[in-house]
Structures are given as structure tokens and as C-alpha cells.
Structure 1
């Protein structure tokens, strides 16, 4: 598939068209797909682009991230796509196309997760359809959460500083000094109860843990059906959790909801794991807890990413940091491309789509 880095004459052609009487934009005679991924994303998710090109009768591909804003807008007006295949690098859809019910654009197939920075809300309001990777990433993010919890329980942050010292140290002295712990039989809390949290609950079962959860708006019965004990408040959840997983969506109501008072509810020696969004936690409060040594913290997300080398989080032995690598893993990226390709086929054949983003889910996205 040939990527076009420029869109020759589109702006000039559009200007000429504007000099003529404008008519209502009609639907194209055939479905048109506009692929807007950059070279890296195409190679990562669609190693065989020939298969991607075969789905629609007309397919165009542009490296949209290389276009100036006016070129991007002109390209959309020129190609008149029925569907757009988008990814991390795709620029935001302009409002005059997203919110226009006469626009031929009906479907945005987003290869990865949140479409919030790409798609204006008006696209949903006028009946546009958006899909993303659905539940495909949930298991891998949950897997990362479990890894971080186990690493923190075994006090991995202190391993490097102790390696040389322990080279001639008896085994029992090592585990005593490191204060290693097990996940088996723990009281585990989960803040949030979406697909990632539910995948995590399933991963935790072999450890014979008791799972508690809290998520505003989620009926307690849904938690009970998963053999999870619902809590009446966040404070109640934190106070009884020896391991606390932060899985909640970031909204104005949850911004920095994990504050000093809530962290103080955690039992001494507890582990706090965040694999959701960095802005859910007050990082100054986290640093104070780390400085005290009272709890252990494991983070895959922080408020400002990437974390700078001089950030204090790196200095605490009771902190485990991973660079927002929950999903997708390198060996499974093709599956996300396959999922998107299948959705494009379904759209082309007017079949039900998978991983549809509802407007309420969009509002919870970050």
C-alpha cells in the first residue's frame, strides 16, 4: 500500500470548487476507505497490507500525521471517505465533517484504544459509528497489573541495591531483609469494574484471594455475579485491601480521587497498583507514602509521560515503575490489525460490528 506524504493540488482544487455553487454532499456511489496510519503503525498492525486493500472497492492511504492541518482537511473533503481507518498518529477529525449529517463519513475504525483525541462528540451525536480494539487489550493490561503486584509483593524495587550484598547471604536472611510477600490468600481491592478489572478478577482466582470492588454507577449485583464483594465507598475499599488495583476510568469526578486521605486508609504494608490513568492519583500524596515506607507502589501510568529520569519516583526502593506498556504486547499486535480488518469487512457487508464505542463510553475515555 503506497502512502502519500502530500496531497497535491487538493487545496487549490477545493478553492476552485468553492467558486462554484455548493450543493449538498451526497453519499459516494461506492464505499471508500481512507487509511490514515503512519508507516510504523501499518507495519506494526497490518504486515500484509494487500489484505487490507481488498476489503473496500476503493481504498486510499495517506500518512495523515505528515500533513498540515489545512492539507488534512482538504484530503478528507477530496477523498470523501465512507470509513476511516485510524490509529495513534491520525489527526483529529474536523468538526465540519464530524458533525455534518450530510458527510459521507459514517464509520471510524480506530485500531487502538481511546478515540477521544481523534473524534469529536458531534460525530456520535449525528449517528456516526466508532469502533476500537474492544476487549482485546483487557487481558493483557490485566496481565501487566498482576505482574506489577507480584513484583511489588516480592519487593523487586530493592533487589538491585541488595544483589551484591546478598551474594554470600543465606536464603532466609535475604527474604527477611527484603520482606518478600505472597499474593496467595490476600484481600484484594479493585477500583473500577470495566473489562480490564473483570479480566483481572479472573486472573486472580488461582491465588485464592478475596476480591472487593467499588465503581460508582456499577450495580453491586454485577460484582456479586463475578464472586466479588461490592463496597459502599472508596474508603471502605481501600481500608480492607492488602493489594489495591486502580482500574477506574478517568472522569472529572475521578480526577485525583486517590488522595492523601484515601491512601492513608490502606493497611500498613499494602500494595497500590495503577494501570488505568496517572491522573487518578495525587502524585504528591503517593510520594509522601513512598517516602514514609509504609506502602509499596507499582505504576504503569503517571500523570506526565514519559517519566523524566530525574523524577523522584525512580529513587524509591518501594516503587516499581513500568513505562505504560500494559497493551498491546509486541508479539500480539497483529491481532489488533486482524480485529480492525474484520470490523471493516463487517461494515462493508453491513454486518454488526465488534468493539463499538458508545457515546457514554466515549465520555469516559481520556
Structure 2
């Protein structure tokens, strides 16, 4: 049986960041692979010509979308393995109708986001940033205020790909997890994640840490608002590695200016934060430039596995179907 032909559309620099040499070797062990030889993205016409005889394609950030023109030139295309997050607006209607297998590396990116989220939680509870500033200023350190994560209460907003991974990472710390997710069955929350379902008000009042992982949807706009921030405990830690529009940023700033909370924000609205935003200056806010989701080898590992599964007749790890689009980030 002949090997499937796979075209890697991703330019060199990005490809080398997300596809390790060992994963490329694995792909080449079961497929004939052709790689974009340049560090430039193909135009739509160039991509169509490149994929004309291919059975599958690997795409990623800023690479051409799957269009009718590509499908016309590549009628044998069976899988479009997207080596990044959301596929919204990147797959033409004809591809869905034809049944092209579309996969996303969102789960791989979610691992990286969850990893940084846990780091933010730990650094926040342990007062690492405050201690750093006190040491720099040669001021006495308020050591009794440092807290361990062990047996704290953590509010998790949304059992998304990231939210689920955060809850799994929290298990060794014997925390009480309060979960807000209207789509999560109570028994699954309890049995799989050791979580109690709760409303946002309960999460705000009872949590030592609140971390939000909801997708950006019309229904999630400012889902965590001024009333919730006002309810939070003094010295609580707030983490947002999801989307800036999911929270009322002005209301958060108001509480931060009182010195009550400590926030870790990887996202803002707008993004990046405007130069004069208080978030850039407040001593109790750590602002990072949307780097929780990494261009990492986790992506290439998942993409290669998805392609292997497609041509081995196995179930995909994360296949995206059209009906999922309104629920995905």
C-alpha cells in the first residue's frame, strides 16, 4: 500500500518552532512529505498548486485557509490538520460538505495555557512578585501573608479544554474546586475533576483563586463583572488566560486600585492594553502579552498523530465538525 502524500504549508521558522525533528521523522515514516521550502506563506494559488496531488495538509497560524480553490486543485485531500487553535473562519463550506477531516491543535495549546495558569496561581498565592519588590527596595518582607496552594479553594470558570487541564493539574494539591460551567453534568464534575458545580457569585465569595477559561462568545461577554469582583475576598488572586472581553476590565481595575486583589492577565480588551491603561502600572497586576498559548512542539506532536490516525482508520483525537463552531473559542 502506498504512503499518503502530505504537504506541510507552514513556513520554515514557524515549522521549526512547532514540529520537532523527531515528529517530522515520525511523519516521514508513514507518509511521503513535502515541505514548504521557504520562510514565506504561500498565496492561495501557490497553496493550491502545492497540494494538488496531496492526501493531507498541515497548516498553522497565518497560513492560507482551506478554500474552494484549494479543494478544486486537490480533490484527494482527506485531512486538514490545523497546527494552531481555532479553525473558525478558516474552513470553507465546501470542505465541511465534502467531509474533509479537520483537526485542531487546541488541546496541545491548552496544555501550555494550563501550565502557565498553574504557575500564575502559585506565584500569586506565594506573593513572589510582592517579595521581589520588597527585596529590591530593601523593605521587610511580610512572610506570614504567603500561602500554599494546598487545600485552598479555587474557582474555575468554564470546563473548556484549558479549564479541564487546570483542574487536573490541581488534583495533587487537594484543593476545593468550585466550577462554573452550565454544560457540565454534576456527576462528571465530581467524579472526573473532584469539582463542585457553583454559580459565579459563590465562586467570587468563597475562592482564594479565581481563574477564567471561557471561550469568547456573545454569551460570555463580561460574564465576570463588577459585582463579582466586589464579592471577592481580600488578597484573592484573579487569573485570566482566556479572552479579555470575558471580564469587565474597568471593574477589575477599580478593585485593583483599592489594593484588595492581585491579578495575572495574559489577555486584555483591547489587546494589547492601551499605553495609558492602569493595568500597565498597577503593582498588583502582572500583565503578559498573550503568551500562555505557546508555539511549542506539543502542536507538532498532536498534528502528526492526527494525520497518522486519519490514514490508519482510527478515531481522531480532536476532530472539529461544523456543529461545534458556535461553542469553540
Alignment TM-score, normalising by the size of structure 2: 0.84
**Matched residues in 1 for 2:182 and 2:40: separation?**
37
Secondary structure (helix, strand or coil) at the match of 1:166 reads: coil
CA deviation after TM superposition for structure 1 residue 62, in Å: 6.2
Partner of 1:362: 325
Secondary structure (helix, strand or coil) at the match of 2:57 reads: strand
Larger Rg: 1
Secondary structure (helix, strand or coil) at the match of 1:323 reads: coil
Secondary structure (helix, strand or coil) at the match of 2:233 reads: coil
Partner of 2:107: 135
Say whether residues 1:38 and 2:14 are aligned partners: no
Contact 1:249–1:365, Cα closer than 8 Å, also in 2:
yes
**Matched residues in 2 for 1:202 and 1:347: separation?**
28
CA deviation after TM superposition for structure 1 residue 356, in Å: 1.5
- RMSD of the TM alignment (CA)? 3.0
Partner of 2:217: 251
Closer, same or farther in 2 for the Cα pair 1:146/1:358, shift >3 Å? same
Contact 2:41–2:64, Cα closer than 8 Å, also in 1:
no
Match for residue 299 of structure 2 among 336, 341, 349: 336
Matches within 5 A, 1:56-135: 56-57=31-32, 59=34, 61=36, 66-67=41-42, 71-73=43-45, 75-76=47-48, 79-80=51-52, 81-95=54-68, 103-120=75-92, 123-133=95-105, 135=107
Secondary structure (helix, strand or coil) at the match of 1:91 reads: coil
Partner of 2:143: 175
Answer with 50-59 or 313-322: which moved more.
50-59
Contact 2:61–2:84, Cα closer than 8 Å, also in 1:
yes
Matches within 5 A, 1:1-366: 31-48=4-21, 49=24, 52-53=27-28, 55-57=30-32, 59=34, 61=36, 66-67=41-42, 71-73=43-45, 75-76=47-48, 79-80=51-52, 81-95=54-68, 103-120=75-92, 123-133=95-105, 135-166=107-138, 169=140, 174-175=142-143, 179-225=145-191, 226-231=193-198, 233-307=199-273, 310-328=276-294, 333-366=296-329
Secondary structure (helix, strand or coil) at the match of 2:264 reads: strand
Gaps of 5+ in 2: none
CA deviation after TM superposition for structure 1 residue 160, in Å: 4.5
Aligned length: 323
Q: Deviations over 1:124-146 (max 9, x none)?
A: 35422111225334343222111
Closer, same or farther in 2 for the Cα pair 1:120/1:251, shift >3 Å? farther
Contact 1:148–1:298, Cα closer than 8 Å, also in 2:
yes
Secondary structure (helix, strand or coil) at the match of 2:14 reads: helix
Gaps of 5+ in 1: 1-28
Secondary structure (helix, strand or coil) at the match of 2:224 reads: coil
Q: Deviations over 1:102-154 (max 9, x none)?
A: 94433111122222242246533542211122533434322211111122223
Contact 2:3–2:30, Cα closer than 8 Å, also in 1:
no
**Matched residues in 1 for 2:160 and 2:4: separation?**
34
Closer, same or farther in 2 for the Cα pair 1:50/1:254, shift >3 Å? same
**Matched residues in 2 for 1:154 and 1:358: separation?**
42
Closer, same or farther in 2 for the Cα pair 1:122/1:320, shift >3 Å? farther
Contact 2:244–2:268, Cα closer than 8 Å, also in 1:
yes
